[in-house]
Amino acid sequence: MRIDPRPLLPTPSDKAPAVEAVRPVQARANARFEALLGKREQAARRSLRGELEQALGCEAINPELFAGSRAQELLHYLLDEVLPRLDAEPEVRVLAEDLLREELHLRQSLAQQRAEVQQP
C-alpha cells in the first residue's frame, strides 16, 4: 500500500456554506450607546463643576497671612522640607529651587526697604 503525501482536493459537492451578510447596527443599540456616553459626559461635567464650586466656595484668604516674616518662613519651609522630597526630574527641582530662592531674596529686600523707610 502506497501513501500519497498530497492532501486530497475537495470535490465540487464539498462546498463551504455561504457567508451570511453582516447585519447593520441596530438603531436601538446605537441610541443606548449614545445615551451612555451622554451620561458619562454629564457626570464628568458635574464632577468638575462641583470641584470648581468647592474651590470657589471657600472664604476669602486674608493676605496678612503671607505678609512679613510669614511668607519668608513658608519659602524656607518649601526649600528645606518640601523641595528635597519632591518626586520630580532634576531640571524641575533646580528650576523650582531657583524660583523659590529668587522670591525669598525679593521678599527680604522688600522687608529691608520697608524697614529703612519706617526709620526716620
Question: How wide is the angle at C-alpha 11 spanned by C-alphas 9 and 15, nearest 5°?
Answer: 110
- Looking at the fold, whether 32 and 74 belong to one and the same domain comes out as no
Decide: pTM greater than 0.85.
Answer: no
Residue 94 lies in a domain: yes
Residue 46 lies in a domain: yes
- Looking at the fold, whether 65 and 116 belong to one and the same domain comes out as yes
- Looking at the fold, whether 54 and 33 belong to one and the same domain comes out as yes
Contact 63, 35 (CB under 8 A): no
Q: What is the pLDDT of residue 54?
A: 74
Residue 16 lies in a domain: no
Of the listed ranges 36-40, 68-72, 76-80, the least confidently predicted one is: 36-40
- Looking at the fold, whether 50 and 68 belong to one and the same domain comes out as no
Residue matched to cell numbers 463643576: 49
| Confidence band of 2 (pLDDT split at 50, 70, 90) | low
Q: CA-to-CA distance for 44 and 36, rounded, in angstroms?
A: 12
- Looking at the fold, whether 68 and 105 belong to one and the same domain comes out as yes
Boundary residue ending a domain (58, 76, 99): 58
Residue 11 lies in a domain: no
pLDDT digits (tens, 9 = 90+) for 16-63: 666 666 665 566 667 777 777 777 777 777 777 777 777 777 666 676
Residue 4 lies in a domain: no
Residue 10 lies in a domain: no
> C-alpha distances in angstroms, 88 versus 20, 52, 71, 79, 91?
57, 27, 24, 14, 8
Q: CA-to-CA distance for 102 and 80, rounded, in angstroms?
A: 15
Q: What is the pLDDT of residue 99?
A: 94
Q: CA-to-CA distance for 41 and 37, rounded, in angstroms?
A: 6
Q: How many structural domains comprise the chain?
A: 2
Q: CA-to-CA distance for 32 and 26, rounded, in angstroms?
A: 10
Q: CA-to-CA distance for 66 and 73, rounded, in angstroms?
A: 9
Boundary residue ending a domain (40, 58, 76): 58
pLDDT digits (tens, 9 = 90+) for 96-120: 999 999 999 998 888 888 888 887 6
Domain span at 90:
61-120
